[in-house]
Structure 1
Amino acid sequence: MSVDGTRHDDGDTAAASAVPRMSVARVYDYLLGGTDNSAADRFAAEQIKALFPELEDWAWCNRGFHQRAARWLAAEAGITQFLDIGSGLPTQNNTHDVVQAVDPACRVVYVDNDEQVAEQAHRLLSDTGRVSFVHGDLRKPDGILANPDVRAQLDFAQPIGLLMTAVIHFVADELDPWKLVGRYLDALVPGSYLVLSQGTYDKQAPATVERATAIYQNANEQVYPRSKPDVERFFAGLQIVPPYDGAKPDVTFGGLWGAEDPEVADDDASRALYAAVGRKP
C-alpha cells in the first residue's frame, strides 16, 4: 500500500520502499534555513521550488504570520498560554521565543505527529520548564486535549491561543477538518483565540497544482490546498481580528496579517497562503 492508499505489485512495492520519504516538517525546516533535514527532504523541496519558485518565500511568509500573530496574542490580547499544533521543529524564533519575549511567564505546548521531530524537539527543549512537546496527531483531538503533559502545562479554565499554521492543509476533506478545528475550540473557554493559516492554489495554474500535489505522494503527509470560502469556514462563530490597521475583519493573505505596509507585503508568496486570527466569544 502506498502513501496515497493505492496498491502496487511486489516489484512496485520494492521500488517504492527504496525511495526515501520526505517529512513535511523537515522540508519546512530546510526552507527556513535549518539543518534538521535529510537529502530526501531537500530534494523534494527543490522539486516543488522548480514548479513554485516562491516556495521558500511562502515558508517565510507563514513563519512571519505565525510570529506576528503569536506576539499580538501575548502583547495585545493578554494570552499567556499557547497550544501550537503541527508545530514542526521548535527551532529558533518559534512560538516560545516570541511570546516569552513579551511575557516570560507564557507557557507553550508544541504538538507534532512526526516521531523523528518529536525526538529532536525533546532534545531542543530539554532546559525549558514552561515549554513542552507532545507527540500527537491533529486528527485525534481527544488524545491531545486529554494528554497529561498538555494538561500539566496549560490551564483550560483560562483563555488559550490555539495555533494551527500551515498544518490544516494536511487534513483531507473526508476527515472534516472544520469539525476537527471545532472540536479543539469547543474545549477552550471564551476569550481564547484561533490562529490558522492554510495553503491555497487559488492563484496557481491547474497544471502546477497537479504536479506539486503529486510530489507530496512520497511525503509522510498529503497536501490539500483550499479556497478562501473553505478557510472562512474554520472561523465560523469566531470574532475575526482585523488583519492590519484600516482593514475589515476578514481572512486575508498570509503576508498581509500584521503588515506595516500591506501593499509591499502583497506578493505571489503571500497570495498562496490564507490566514486569520479569531476570538472565541
Structure 2
Amino acid sequence: MVSKVTEYADDSARILSRIDTSRPHTARIWNYWTGGKDNYPVDREAGDQIRNLHPGIVDYAMADRHFLGRSVHHLAGEAGIRQFLDIGTGLPSADNTHEVAQRVAPDARVVYVDNDPLVLAHARALLTSSPEGRTDYLDADLRDVDSILEQAAKTLDLSEPVALMLLGVVIFIGDDEESRRIVRRLMDALPSGSHLVLSHTITSPAMPEVDQAVAFWNEHGTPKLTQRTPEQIVRYFDGLELLEPGLVSCTRWRPEPGEGPEPGEGLEPEEVAMYCGVARKP
C-alpha cells in the first residue's frame, strides 16, 4: 500500500540500531503512561520518577489523547475535513488519527510524520486504512517543512482543506520565533478551510510541580522540552479563527462524560498542564 514505509520497515536492523535504550525518551514514556507496551526499563523508571514529582502527569497524558479523538471526530464530522497531516505522531495506540477519522468518514486520508525510530519500527500499525481511505508514514523532523509538504502531497491534495495535527510536538522546538515560523509555513501551504490542531505543555505559577517534572526530564531525558505560557501558545493561532472554547486545558475542550478526572456537579473538568486549541484558516 505504502512503498515508503515498506522501504523503511523492512530494514528492521537498521531501524533498531537508531534506538537508544540507555536514555529515556519522551515517546516511550508517554506510551508507558498511557498503558502501552513499547517502552524500556529506563523509560519506566524515568516515568515513575516524573510521576512522583507530578502525580497528575498521567492525567494530562490521557487528556491529550482524548483531545485528539474529540478534535478529529469534530473535524471529520461537522467540519467535513477529509485530509489529516499528523506531525509528531508518537507510538501507535488505540484510536489513532486515521481510525477516528475513518470511523466518521471512511474515505479520509492521513499522513503521519515522526522522526523516532521506534515509531518507524511500528509504522505498519498506522497504515491499517479503510479500503476507501489511505494512510502514509513519513520519517521526518518537524523542522523539515519543505520535505514534509513535498512528500505529503503524494497522498494528500494540498489544494483541498487539511487538518494539521501538532499534538505535543512544538514543545521540542526551543526557540519561540522558530517554532512559530514552522507552524506559519505549514499553515501557509494549506488552503482556506484547513484547520490547525495544537496541544502544548504550559508553565504556570499555579502548577509548580510541572516545572519540577520538566526540569528533571531535561536533565535526564531526550529530547529536551520547552514549556510556554498560555499567552505564548495562543500566538501559534495568529491569523486563524479559534473554535470554541478557544485555548484551554485539554480536559476542557468539548469534554465528553467519563473522560479524565470527574469534576463536581456543575463544575468544569479539572485543569491539566496541557493546553490545546483548534482553529480554522479563513
Q: Which moved more, 1:226-235 or 1:196-205?
A: 196-205
User: 1:266 maps to which residue?
Assistant: 269
Contact 2:92 2:119 in 1 (8 A): no
Q: How does 1:85-100 map to 2 (within 5 A)?
A: 85-100=87-102
Q: How does 1:1-281 map to 2 (within 5 A)?
A: 20-121=22-123, 123-125=124-126, 127-128=128-129, 130-147=134-151, 150-173=152-175, 176-204=178-206, 206=208, 209-243=211-245, 250-260=246-256, 264-267=267-270, 270-281=271-282
Call closer, same or farther: CA 1:207–1:259 in 2, change over 3 Å: closer
Call closer, same or farther: CA 1:168–1:27 in 2, change over 3 Å: same
Contact 2:31 2:38 in 1 (8 A): yes
Contact 1:71 1:102 in 2 (8 A): yes
Call closer, same or farther: CA 1:120–1:265 in 2, change over 3 Å: farther
Deviation at 1:209, TM superposition (A): 1.3
Call closer, same or farther: CA 1:198–1:126 in 2, change over 3 Å: closer
Deviation at 1:163, TM superposition (A): 0.5
Read off the aligned partner of 1:77 and give its amino acid letter: A
Aligned-residue CA RMSD (Å): 2.0
Deviations 1:229-266 (A, max 9, x none): 101100000001012xxxxxx21111110125786553
Deviations 1:149-181 (A, max 9, x none): x22211101000000111111110266211110
Q: Which moved more, 1:124-133 or 1:21-30?
A: 124-133
TM-score between the two structures when normalised by the length of structure 1: 0.84
Read off the aligned partner of 1:273 and give its amino acid letter: M
Identity of aligned residues (%): 38
Deviations 1:197-230 (A, max 9, x none): 1101214555751453232333231111110110
What is the SS of the residue equivalent to 1:198?
strand
Q: Which moved more, 1:138-147 or 1:159-168?
A: 138-147
- Matched residues in 2 for 1:19 and 1:165: separation? 24
Q: How many residues are matched?
A: 253
Read off the aligned partner of 1:76 and give its amino acid letter: E
Call closer, same or farther: CA 1:209–1:159 in 2, change over 3 Å: same
Call closer, same or farther: CA 1:125–1:62 in 2, change over 3 Å: closer
Contact 1:86 1:112 in 2 (8 A): yes
Contact 1:203 1:272 in 2 (8 A): no
TM-score between the two structures when normalised by the length of structure 2: 0.84
Call closer, same or farther: CA 1:174–1:238 in 2, change over 3 Å: closer
Call closer, same or farther: CA 1:271–1:57 in 2, change over 3 Å: closer
What is the SS of the residue equivalent to 2:85?
strand
Read off the aligned partner of 2:255 and give its amino acid letter: A
- Matched residues in 1 for 2:127 and 2:233: separation? 36
Structure 1 residues not aligned, in runs of 5+: 1-17, 244-249
Contact 2:50 2:216 in 1 (8 A): no
Call closer, same or farther: CA 1:205–1:100 in 2, change over 3 Å: closer
Deviation at 1:280, TM superposition (A): 0.4
